[in-house]
Amino acid sequence: MIIDFNAMQEYTVVGMNGGMGEIATKMYVGRGGKIIPSRLAKGSSIGLHTHTTSDDINYVISGTGRAICDGEEELLSAGVCHVCKKGLSHSIVNTGDDDLILLTVVVER
């Protein structure tokens, strides 16, 4: 199976999960989960939220940021993968001067 994100419409989310700023994203939804490439603009964030049905795997393609997962701060940079397990809460903040580019895989379980 091929998922062609180039053919998908990008949309903008303002204040995702109560966060600040804008996030540009595309999303594939399939049985068992989602695949979400996204771009958090400078100063933008994904607000604190809980994963009640899934694991959230966030691979950083470029940029810098910070994740707070279950109260623990984790620094994000290119090549780092932040995982928020089912039942935990997390938020993500772009702390850099450039966009924070993520590839997120949501695994329902």
Distance CA 40, CA 91 (A): 12
Q: How far is CA 63 from the centre of its chain?
A: 13
| Domain around 19 | 10-108
CB-CB contact of 78 with 56 (8 Å): no
CATH number, domain of 83, equals: 2.60.120.10
Look at residue 2 and tell me if it is in a domain.
no
Look at residue 20 and tell me if it is in a domain.
yes
The per-residue pLDDT for range 24-75, each reduced to its tens digit, is 999 999 999 999 999 999 999 999 999 999 999 999 999 999 999 999 999 9
Total domain count for the chain?
Answer: 1
Distance CA 38, CA 12 (A): 10
Distance CA 45, CA 33 (A): 22
* pTM reported for the whole predicted model: 0.93
Q: Which own/partner pairs from 2-11 qualify as long-range (CB within 8 Å, at least 24 positions apart)?
A: 3/28, 3/35, 5/37
